[in-house]
Amino acid sequence: MSIINFGKLASIDSNGFYLTSNGQPSHFNQTEMSCKCGCGESRMSQPLIDADAALRVGINMPITIDRGVSCTLHNFAVGGAADSEHLPISYASDKIAAMPEEDFFLQARKTHNRLGLYFGEPGMIHADMKVDATGAPLHLYWYRLNGTYTYFTNPVECLNAYRNLK
């Protein structure tokens, strides 16, 4: 079992790009990861930036960040959970890629430990990096249909149930 240190914030280079743990630009900039309300909140966890960068390299295509970090007020305004992983220091981002969301989900499973699918939003997934009190990754998979979430502990079961909705 690997332990993830979530206390570390990702650094940002002079061009506004988050840096990976090895100091390389991650393809993700502060503007796209910042809170969409314009407050300037942009604190992201290093493990999420590293996972997002690895996902980007793994699929070999651009990823658009739909929602990175959200301040408490914006999170409430968009209906986010009180303990949302989008809150600072953010461990989550909603992503869009130019590939079927099922394929994107399978690729993201290699880099992130919690994933969600949005029925009716092609190419979009939620990916985060939540851990328990000991720092061990918590695995959870879900899909959202008409505002209702269905949860799974097995990613294949989640994906199969999602496919059956189509």
Q: What is the pLDDT of residues 70-111, one digit of tens each?
A: 999 998 998 888 888 887 777 778 888 889 999 999 999 999
Rounded CA separation 136/106 (Å): 21
Does some domain include residue 128?
A: yes
pLDDT band, very low/low/confident/very high, at 3 (cuts 50, 70, 90): very low
Does some domain include residue 55?
A: yes
CA atoms within 13 A on the CB side of 76: 3
- Give the residue-averaged pLDDT of 133-157: 91
pLDDT at 61 over 60: yes
pLDDT band, very low/low/confident/very high, at 1 (cuts 50, 70, 90): very low
Does some domain include residue 8?
A: no
Does some domain include residue 112?
A: yes
Structural domain harbouring 68: 17-165
In sequence order, the 6+-apart residues with CB closer than 8 A to the CB of 166 are none
- Give the residue-averaged pLDDT of 41-60: 92
Does some domain include residue 87?
A: yes
Number of domains forming the structure of the chain: 1
- Give the residue-averaged pLDDT of 24-51: 93
Does some domain include residue 4?
A: no
Does some domain include residue 31?
A: yes
Tell how strand 92-96 and strand 124-128 pair up: antiparallel
Does some domain include residue 159?
A: yes
Q: Residue 11: which of 1, 24, 2, 3 has the closest Cα?
A: 24
Q: Identify the CATH number of the domain in which residue 24 sits.
A: 3.30.1380.10
**What's the pTM?**
0.88
Percent of the chain with pLDDT over 90: 62
In sequence order, the 6+-apart residues with CB closer than 8 A to the CB of 35 are 41, 42, 68, 69, 70, 71, 74
